[in-house]
Chain A
Amino acid sequence: MKDTMSQAVIEAKGVNLVFETGDGPVQALKDVNLVVGRGEFVSFIGPSGCGKTTFLRAIAALEHPTGGTLTVNGMSPDEARMSRAYGYVFQAAGLYPWRTIAKNVSLPLEIMGFSKAEQADRVDRVLELVELKGFGRKFPWQLSGGMQQRASIARALAFDADILLMDEPFGALDEIVRDRLNEEVLKLWARTGKTICFVTHSIPEAVYLSTKIVVMSPRPGRITDVIDSPLPRERPLDIRDSREFIEIAHRVREGLRAGHGDAV
């Protein structure tokens, strides 16, 4: 495990990203340095506007840094995108209403030109992985919000990308559903060994899920703290009452407060 962990999957060196807007430039990311190792679960947390989404989008080559270097699997983000290095889960499930769940999940496979048999195979596999077995023939509107989001995770998993980028995937769901899905994401991570980057606004969520927590602060968006979690990989829900958990949560909160302090 140790030597695979040390392999850098995502590497940001002095990344800057400036948006040119109508009322002048907006510095969304300033001098961001970060290394994400293979198989890590990294959470990004910080107040609104601190550049979490922007950083994730830069990894996905949906935005392009204006300075510094960013590599994904040792390639440029654009090359990584073309080699299908990652699956991206957006805040909204974004399922097509005119497609069944199975057809939605196979959409990226169709686009990438997998054979029909291979598509069916993979759809079955990932639907089972997100515990939606038997829902393949349903339409999105027949599923709850949580189930839809699970389907969208299945879709991101379908083509074997070894990185999963998730931008507040459960932000729109209630606490109870969220807890369940968090548990499932952890199971999924353990089973698949993927590298996961996860944006969240919730401190408990970040601490519960991550091996590494990246605390960010706004204006300009930057990293103020990177916390390596000492929690074991195996995490029952009640780990959230342990002393270690509370200590890390405390450190994250302090980090967020400090970030706010020197921004004022």
Chain B
Amino acid sequence: MRSLAPIATVLAVIVALWYAAAVWMNAQWVYDQAARAGVEVTFGQMVVDTMAQERPVLPVPHQVFAELAKSTVGMAVTSKKSLVYHGWITISATLLGFAMGTGFGRLLAVGIIHNKAMDMSVMPWAIASQTVPILAIAPMIIVVLSSVGVQGLVPKAIISAFLSFFPVLVGMVKGLRSPDGMQLDQLATWNASRTQVFWKLRLPSSMPYLFASLKVGIAASLVGAIVGEMPTGAVAGLGARLLSGSYYGQTIQIWAALFAAAIVAASLVMIVGVIERATLKRMGMA
């Protein structure tokens, strides 16, 4: 409970700054409107107006949250305007991409620690892959795949996998290599095979590392899915919501979608965290 006070303080400061910034940034439009209509606005009038615009430069918090509430609990989830509907589209691509990416990352990691050639060659490519700007290749992936008839969920999941395999690869290699010399010698005295060393020691030892990278990976997956929804003229998903909002200058809609994405990201990371704690506790490693 004691930790709540500082968090609340910081939050209050942020919200206050946000309101101040919104008033400052939206004021021009209020004055322009008044000038065009040939009327005078008082300062108080101006402040009230900046918080009630339909397309403000920067919407105020209560507008964003009203929009968020309206588009989640305020309408049927089947509605094309429901953020639950769009959120679910994005989440499903995220989860599929996360499964593919983390699976791929784990496979590569296993290969790297068991195969000298892979150890020497895979990492540089993996690192290079992450320096490619995802925004640049996302449209290519979508276009290429759709030309061979793959559309919808899968192309987005691939982009999401492209971002999430890397942290898992790095974490898993480190984790699989975490057993120390004594532990490996111990197994050598029992004449254990490499497969046995892997299943009995390396894999269980890697769990804390795996979970740490899964948390990074799930967030990266979400970013990948959202980016995958942007260039395609996709009609559904949080990314599409962001994009259509910016086409039509619907800043409130953009911000609501942004917050929805943030909430989804936080929830996904938290779910991984809960599984992590439960697993490591059961393994006596927490």
Interface positions of A (Cβ within 8 A of B): 57, 60, 62, 81-82, 84, 86-88, 90, 92, 94, 96-98, 107-108, 110-112, 139-141, 159
Contact = CB atoms under 8 A, between A and B. Distances in A.
A60 to B, nearest CB: 6
Q: Residue among B185, B186, B285 with the most chain A CB within 10 A?
A: B186
Contacts of B114: none
A87 B185 CA distance: 12
A98 B99 CA distance: 25
Interface of B: 182-183, 185-192, 196, 200-201, 204, 282-285
A139 B189 contact: no
B185 A111 contact: no
A60 B189 contact: yes
B285 A98 contact: yes
Contacts of A112: 190-191
B182 A92 contact: yes
Given A60-B189, A62-B185, 10 more contacts: A82-B191, A84-B191, A87-B189, A88-B186, A88-B189, A98-B204, A98-B282, A98-B285, A111-B200, A112-B191
A88 B186 CA distance: 7
B276 to A, nearest CB: 14
13 contacts: A62-B185, A81-B189, A81-B191, A86-B189, A88-B189, A94-B182, A96-B204, A98-B204, A108-B190, A110-B200, A111-B200, A140-B284, A141-B284
Contacts of B189: 60, 62, 81, 86-88
A81 B182 CA distance: 16
Contacts of B283: 97-98
Q: Residue among A82, A88, A140, A159 with the most chain B CB within 10 A?
A: A88
A60 B284 CA distance: 30
Nearest to A112: B190
B200 A107 contact: yes
A81 B191 CA distance: 7
Given A98-B204, A111-B192, A90 B182 contact: yes
Given A62-B185, A98-B204, A110-B200, A139 B284 contact: yes
Contact of B201 (A57, A92, A96): A96
B188 A111 contact: no
Contacts of A107: 190, 200
Given A97-B284, A98-B285, A111 B186 contact: no
Contacts of A139: 284
Contacts of B183: 94
A94 B186 contact: yes
A261 B188 CA distance: 38
Contacts of B185: 57, 62, 88, 90
Contacts of A57: 185
B254 to A, nearest CB: 47
Contacts of B284: 97-98, 139-141
Nearest to B196: A111
Contact of A62 (B188, B196, B285): B188
Contacts of A87: 189
Contact of B187 (A82, A86, A98, A111): A111
Contacts of A60: 189
Q: Which 7 A-B pairs have the closest CB atoms?
A: A97-B284, A98-B283, A108-B190, A88-B189, A111-B192, A111-B190, A139-B284
Contacts of B192: 111
B176 to A, nearest CB: 15
Contacts of B191: 81-82, 84, 111-112
A81 B187 CA distance: 11
A92 B185 CA distance: 12
Contacts of A108: 190
Given A82-B191, A96-B204, A90 B285 contact: no
A62 B189 CA distance: 8
